[in-house]
Amino acid sequence: MRYGAYCAECRKLGNLKCEGCELNITWELDTAAADALTLFADVHAQVKTVGKQILGLDYGALFQVADVYCMEVTPAIWRYIKAIEEEVFNNGKH
For 8-35, how does the pLDDT look when each residue is reduced to its tens digit (9 = 90+)?
666 666 666 666 666 555 566 788 988 9
Residue-wise pLDDT tens digits, 30-83: 889 889 999 999 998 898 888 888 888 999 999 999 999 999 999 999 999 999
Q: Record the pTM.
A: 0.65
Given this model, what pLDDT does residue 30 score? 85
**pLDDT band of 2, cuts 50, 70, 90:** very low
Cα–Cα distance between 66 and 72 in angstroms, integer?
A: 7
* Alpha-carbon dihedral sign for residues 69, 75, 76, 78: positive
